[in-house]
Amino acid sequence: MQKFLTFGVNHRGIAIAIIAAITIFCGFGLDKLRIDTSFDSLISDNDPTKQVYERVKEEFGSDNTTIVYARSSELWTQDRLAALEDMHFALEDLPFVQRVDSLFNVRSIRDRDGMIDSSTVLDGVPFDDAEMQTARDNALYSPLVVGNFISADGIVTAINVTIVKDPDNPNFDHYAYGAIDEAIAPYADQFEEIFQVGPPRVNADTETGLISDLSLLAPLSLGVLTVTIVLFLRSGLALVFPVITSAISLVWGFGLMGYFGIPINILSAMLPSLVIVIGSTEDTHMLSTYLNGIHSGDKQGTGAQRRRYAVLFLIRHLGLPLVLTAVTTTLGFAANSFAEMGLMRNFAYAASIAIAANGVITLMLVPSLLSLFGPLRSNLHNKSPKQEVSDPEEEGYRGLIGAILKLCYAAARHPRYVIGGTVVFTVFFGIFAFQTKVSNDPIAFFKPKHPLVQDVNTLAETLSGMEIFYINLSSTKPDAFRNPENLRRLAQIKDYIVQDGRFDTALSIADHLSLVNREFHGGDVEMMVVPDTIALVDQYLLFFQRADLENYISHDFERANMVVRHNIHNSHDLKQALVDLDREVRRIAGPDLTVNLVGQNLMINNAADDLIAAQVQSVGLLLLVIFIIMSIVYSSLVGGFLSLVPNILPIIAVLGIMGLFGIPLNPGTATVAVIAIGIAIDDTIHLLSSYTHESLRTADRGLAVRRTVRGQAVPAISTSIALAAGFLVLSGSSFSIIWQFGALSAVAMIVAMIADLIVTPVLMSMVRLVGLYEILTLKVGKDVLTNSPLFTNMTSYQIRKAILLSELVPFKAGDRLLEQGTIGRDLYVILSGSAAVTLDHSHGHTELDTLAAGAVLGEVGFITQQQRTANVDAVTDGEMLRLNADTVQKNMRLYPHIANKLNLNIARILGMRLASTSNRLSRYEKQEGLT
Amino acid sequence: MDEVSARHDRPFEFEEQAMILIDDRGNTEDREVRRYAREWDNGLYRYLLVFDSPAGVRGVALLTWQNKGASDDQWMHLPAYGREMKRSADGGKRNYFMGTDFAFEDMTSEEREKFRYDRQPDETFEIKDETGSVLDTVDGYVVDAYPKDEELASQTGYQYRRLYVSKDRFFIRRIDFFDRRGRFLKTQYSWDMEQIEGDTWRANRVLMDNDKLNHQTLIQVKSRDLTEGSVPARMFEQRWVTTGRHLR
């Protein structure tokens, strides 16, 4: 890994050439990039109703209906109606249009003084006033027409355009929207208000919003980035690196998306912002550490030497955490790649590619660039130079950061309050978290003030909602729906829908037959019922063309289809209404009829449930992966757990806030949790990594914590604020799901920051957490440890566990490490340097032994609490590992094997010591002539 | 057009027909109907149509009286509804007839003085069956028929019809219908020609192929009687139907 990290410095030319080559290659991929705003991407691949939907759509026609809304207070004049008729025909001429329904072809059946009048509502434009009046009366008379094609006040009319989507044209919706708009444009000035709503418009507006997001959000994010970086790092040059890395990352990301055929969607439109914001946090950490390197390095060297030193300093201090954070952030975005919804899956692919690219580019390019052009002066350190301060509490950061630090220190002194507060916080937000509702609705993606949403609501208020679904009933009996019994069931279902009131309209063949029945009985509303006999059903059916009924009944009358329209754009409410409807329909239909509620609209809403599954799955997966990685890094499950706490808190906060303020879990907000973890874990990793460094330097955990917090506060606060600000930029989006995502992510960043600076330190101070083994092996080499008699015959895992219980103690030449006659229960292993063992006695003192790296001392006191039998003095500077007997005993209960081996080795050491002592004794006796 | 009328119009006509409705997926609905036509005063006709099958519509009857200078009178009898005949409101000329692709106006005789006939260049035209296969190519005269009577123009569903008249028998073998805006709507083909007597011919199969609705109606004539006895005048009164004498 070090090789990879130093590659950018040691082989600058190659590194830059590789990056340039990949960038050029990816640049060509940009051409292949396409936009996908289709509804299909909002539907789960495994939706169980998909097949039935396709079959029903094939039989009863597409539910892909665009409604052209036209309002004129002078609607019933020849000019307006002529315009309307022209529009009807112009729409009919569009190649993708399956059928057009309007006042000009919808059937009107009406009693006129005992005579039956069966015709279309408008059979051409009426010639005179009397005919005009009749036509208006006819339109407002039929319950099949009012609310569908004419408003109750007679001034709004609708043309329903049923569309068959061309699956081979990826730009179909945009094209269809444009074509419909073009078809109605010549007549638009005849009406006070005219617009189309339907899937093509929704998709086209989504695409427009997406493009405006792309062009608006990226510059805004850059602005925020500039302000925060200049503010916190006080270096103009520092801004250049994030901009370069972000730009290259985006070329890679979008280029690879082009090659892999991953389209841009409304979520990935925020990718530039995300890459700029998230990518820059790494850059900030790197620059800040680089500047520390410049500061602490030799001021006399040449610029190149000083830069090289600072870059290597940066890699040494940040190498592991940088790789870890790049991996976890990428995983955060990738966690949704298993989502069943194409929208989220494609975003997961796109974002993880871009973020991974950003990681690779940052790690390769920034060291290269810094070693070439890095600043040689740090404005961060222009105050009195930071020296080793005994306790950071005495060192003054002023202003906001000083205040935050004071708060952190105060919190660290009151761990109970912190833990208590955390529990209260968790419970409070946790309760609200469970009230969070799901939503997946393309209209709800837009902000409420968006013209599309307004138009959709206008349509729903004057006519009926835009959303359509089918209640499909099928029987195995021939001609089942000629049978009045089954037709009455349809009527009962409609009665329920009308009474329930949540859906706007419902139409079936029963309505058509009831209407004829009513008109055959002089228009008596009491007779708006299904005919009594099969024969009458058959005879009434003669009034209809097949085209009048093809949406409602199969040719063999075995399957009936009820068309329901509504304006519910909240998945939770819709789901509830559908559950109730489904239950009622099944109850009414009885056991002989098969019931299916189908529609694209329903499948999109069904996918809302997948959001929960995706959420649980991706958050769970990510937490597990982080837990495993961090447990391995710190050789401790506690370490793994510790890493999770500050990342779970923001998720609870986010879900709680969503429940509290009624923000739904939608494709945008469902990605917040994983992304928040992916980003927030960065600070945790830096924090823990710094804490392990500090722990090596002092046995006082409180001090180590304070030093850690002091060291990490500035980058943590600055990156969190920069990220939060960057996310808040997303509130400029055209879509509510994006601004909700932005706002919640900003909250998550701030909560994560607080958790990292207040809760994590308290937890850290309670447990011993050191990734010591890695650092030791890095420092002294593995051999010293494996060759030490203390660790003879132990596996590296066992050695690691034992070492985790120890502490690193540095010593200087002349230090007394053990004092004869004192009592101590510590055992030491010398890691570097050497020490001499001497024995004080009445005649002076005798030098017994010289100890080198790997040697063990203090083993007697470790076993039995008794006076030290000799002095040990450091001969050179060095370091040793300290194991405390009580700590080892307490902690080794769970690891009897390791304890056993450790004890055996100590016994062996003691045995050897005894042997050498007896040896020495016998020599001494021989010398004295005692034998 | 006068020649067409002179050769083929007959005052009395009874036919037993199979009427097959074919939807865009090839699903069919078969009906059996009897059609009676009798010339009344002034060259105007009266028609009676009776459904024999399917069982559900057996006995349904439609009585039509052409009127001079006024819209037709029409009564409908639905046996399942009751014994009475329900009068249809006027203005229904251009409505499709009982779920078929024929409009009411397609099924009644044409008052020639109300139309303007524009001769078009002669053409060899195709006759197609319900599957779209070409059965025959016929050498013919082509005439566009426009309504010239203002009232008729306000009632008809067509801006004009293009009539294809076979040169050999002066029989209208094909009609292309153009809607009130002049756009192609549907085509009627006639084939399976049978010589009745002298120059008089009849087609035993008539297909109305509705392009706009993607729907077809095929009429197969199973038997035919052009004698006066087959269509007695009393048949064309409401009482004939309300007393159930139209039933077989």
* Residues B184-214 pLDDT 10s: 999 999 999 999 888 899 999 999 999 988 8
Cβ separation B183–A534 shorter than 8 A: no
Cβ separation B154–A127 shorter than 8 A: yes
One domain, residues A174 and A293: no
One domain, residues A278 and A196: no
- Smallest CA–CA separation between A546 and chain B, in Å? 6
User: Can you give the three-state secondary structure of B196-243, one letter per residue?
Assistant: EECCEEEEEEEEEEECCCCEEEEEEEEEEECCHHHCCHHHHCHHHHHC
Tally of CA atoms within 13 A in the half-sphere of A128 that contains its CB: 3
For A638, phi then psi, to 5°, come to -60, -40
Q: What is the mean pLDDT of residues A240-249?
A: 86
Output the pLDDT for position A382. 47
- Smallest CA–CA separation between B167 and chain A, in Å? 35
Tally of CA atoms within 13 A in the half-sphere of B115 that contains its CB: 20
- Smallest CA–CA separation between A100 and chain B, in Å? 11
**Distance (Å, rounded) from C-alpha A647 to C-alpha A684?**
8
Among the partner-chain residues B23, B91, B181, the one whose CB lies closest to the CB of A546 is B23
Lowest mean pLDDT among A129-143, A807-821, B26-40: A807-821
Among the partner-chain residues A112, A535, A544, the one whose CB lies closest to the CB of B80 is A535
Domain ranges of chain B: 2-242
Among the partner-chain residues A116, A550, A555, the one whose CB lies closest to the CB of B76 is A116
Interface check for B104 against chain A (CB to CB < 8 A): the answer is: no
Q: Which residues of B touch A538 (CB under 8 A)?
A: 54, 56-57, 80
Domain assignment of residue A875, yes or no:
yes
Output the pLDDT for position A576. 92
- Name the one residue in this structure whose structure tokens are 């004049």: A77
Q: What is the mean pLDDT of residues A915-925?
A: 80
Q: What is the mean pLDDT of residues A10-21?
A: 87
Domain assignment of residue A391, yes or no:
no
Interface check for B239 against chain A (CB to CB < 8 A): the answer is: no
Cβ separation B96–A89 shorter than 8 A: no
Cβ separation B215–A546 shorter than 8 A: yes
Q: Which residues of A touch B79 (CB under 8 A)?
A: 535, 539
Calculate ∠ Cα A820-A823-A826, nearest 5°. Answer: 100
Q: Which residues of A touch B56 (CB under 8 A)?
A: 482, 534-535, 537-539
Output the pLDDT for position A493. 97
Q: Which residues of B touch A547 (CB under 8 A)?
A: 213, 215
Interface check for A1 against chain B (CB to CB < 8 A): the answer is: no
- Could you tell me which chain B residue has the CA closest to the CA of A542? B98
Output the pLDDT for position B90. 66
Domain assignment of residue A373, yes or no:
yes
pLDDT for residue A384 is more than 60: no
pLDDT for residue A851 is more than 90: no
One domain, residues A786 and A919: yes
Interface check for A446 against chain B (CB to CB < 8 A): the answer is: no
CATH number, domain of A906, equals 2.60.120.10
pLDDT for residue B217 is more than 90: yes
Asked if CATH classification 3.30.360.10 holds for the domain at B2-242, the reply, yes or no, is: no
Specify the number of domains making up chain A.
Answer: 4
Among the partner-chain residues B81, B183, B213, the one whose CB lies closest to the CB of A520 is B81
Output the pLDDT for position B143. 95
The ipTM of this complex is 0.94
One domain, residues A201 and A322: no
Among the partner-chain residues A116, A534, A545, the one whose CB lies closest to the CB of B86 is A116
Average of per-residue pLDDT values in chain A? 84
- Could you tell me which chain A residue has the CA closest to the CA of B85? A115
- Smallest CA–CA separation between A361 and chain B, in Å? 59
Cβ separation A545–B92 shorter than 8 A: no
Omega prior to B54 cis, within 30 of 0: yes
Domain assignment of residue A552, yes or no:
no
Q: Which residues of B touch A82 (CB under 8 A)?
A: none
Interface test with A, best of B19, B33, B95, B151 (most A CBs within 10 A): B95
Q: Which residues of B touch A89 (CB under 8 A)?
A: 181, 183
Q: What is the mean pLDDT of residues A433-438?
A: 88
**Distance (Å, rounded) from C-alpha A684 to C-alpha A679?**
9
One domain, residues A187 and A238: no
Domain assignment of residue A572, yes or no:
no
Q: Which residues of B touch A544 (CB under 8 A)?
A: 99
Lowest mean pLDDT among A775-779, A811-815, B15-19: A775-779
Interface test with A, best of B31, B50, B213 (most A CBs within 10 A): B213
Output the pLDDT for position A587. 96
Comparison of pLDDT for A675 and A441, the residue scoring more? A441
Interface check for B94 against chain A (CB to CB < 8 A): the answer is: yes
Interface check for B78 against chain A (CB to CB < 8 A): the answer is: yes
A273, A221 Cβ separation under 8 angstroms: yes
One domain, residues A190 and A337: no
Domain assignment of residue A548, yes or no:
no
**Distance (Å, rounded) from C-alpha A467 to C-alpha A495?**
20
Q: What is the mean pLDDT of residues B175-192?
A: 93
Q: Which residues of A touch B80 (CB under 8 A)?
A: 531, 533, 535-536, 538-539
Output the pLDDT for position A699. 60
- Smallest CA–CA separation between A575 and chain B, in Å? 35
How confident is the model over B56-87, as pLDDT tens digits? 999 999 999 988 777 788 899 999 998 888 88
Interface check for A117 against chain B (CB to CB < 8 A): the answer is: yes
Output the pLDDT for position B238. 92
**Distance (Å, rounded) from C-alpha A460 to C-alpha A567?**
6
Q: Distance of CA A856 to CAs A487, A791, A902, A920, B152, Å?
A: 94, 10, 12, 19, 120
pLDDT band at residue A187, thresholds of 50, 70 and 90? Answer: very high
- Could you tell me which chain B residue has the CA closest to the CA of A543? B98
Interface test with B, best of A55, A101, A546 (most B CBs within 10 A): A546
Cβ separation B91–A538 shorter than 8 A: no
Lowest mean pLDDT among A176-185, A390-399, B45-54: A390-399
Among the partner-chain residues A110, A119, A124, the one whose CB lies closest to the CB of B180 is A124
How confident is the model over B81-105, as pLDDT tens digits? 988 888 887 656 778 888 899 988 8
One domain, residues A168 and A253: no
Q: What is the mean pLDDT of residues A604-626?
A: 82
Interface check for B21 against chain A (CB to CB < 8 A): the answer is: yes
B6 exposed, middle or buried (CB, 10 Å; 0-12, 13-18, 19+)?
Answer: exposed
Cβ separation A114–B99 shorter than 8 A: no
**Distance (Å, rounded) from C-alpha A193 to C-alpha A838?**
103
Number of CB pairs < 8 Å for A and B?
A: 83
Domain assignment of residue A735, yes or no:
yes
One domain, residues A10 and A87: no
Residues 6+ apart with CB under 8 A from A526: none
Helix (H) or strand (E) holding B13: strand B12-22
Cβ separation A546–B213 shorter than 8 A: yes
Structural domain that includes position A195: 63-207
How confident is the model over A642-667, as pLDDT tens digits? 778 888 899 999 999 999 998 998 88
Output the pLDDT for position A383. 46
Q: Which residues of A touch B88 (CB under 8 A)?
A: 115-118
Q: What is the largest CA-CA distance in chain B?
A: 53
Output the pLDDT for position A387. 42
B193 exposed, middle or buried (CB, 10 Å; 0-12, 13-18, 19+)?
Answer: middle
**Distance (Å, rounded) from C-alpha A299 to C-alpha A376?**
9
Lowest mean pLDDT among A176-190, A799-813, A908-922, B113-127: A799-813
Lowest mean pLDDT among A186-195, A234-243, A288-297, A494-503: A234-243
Cβ separation A536–B81 shorter than 8 A: yes
Q: Which residues of A touch B81 (CB under 8 A)?
A: 520, 536, 539
Cβ separation B23–A538 shorter than 8 A: no
Q: What percent of chain A has pLDDT over 90?
A: 31
Interface check for B183 against chain A (CB to CB < 8 A): the answer is: yes
One domain, residues A872 and A802: yes
One domain, residues A847 and A916: yes
Q: Using the 3D structure, point to which of A767, A796, A820 is the last residue of a domain.
A: A767
Interface check for A536 against chain B (CB to CB < 8 A): the answer is: yes
Output the pLDDT for position A393. 52
Q: Using the 3D structure, point to which of A724, A747, A767 is the last residue of a domain.
A: A767
Interface check for B88 against chain A (CB to CB < 8 A): the answer is: yes
Domain assignment of residue A603, yes or no:
no
Q: Distance of CA A555 to CAs A425, A559, A560, B212, Å?
A: 62, 8, 10, 19
Output the pLDDT for position A770. 53
One domain, residues A71 and A173: yes
| Chain B residues 128-157 within an 8 A CB cutoff of chain A | 154, 157
Average of per-residue pLDDT values in chain B? 90
One domain, residues A24 and A94: no
Q: Using the 3D structure, point to which of A722, A747, A767 is the last residue of a domain.
A: A767
CATH number, domain of A137, equals 3.30.310
CB count within 10 Å of CB B77 equals 25
Interface check for A126 against chain B (CB to CB < 8 A): the answer is: no
Q: Which residues of B touch A124 (CB under 8 A)?
A: 180
Give the residue from A282, A300, A272 showing the smallest Cα distance to A370.
Answer: A282
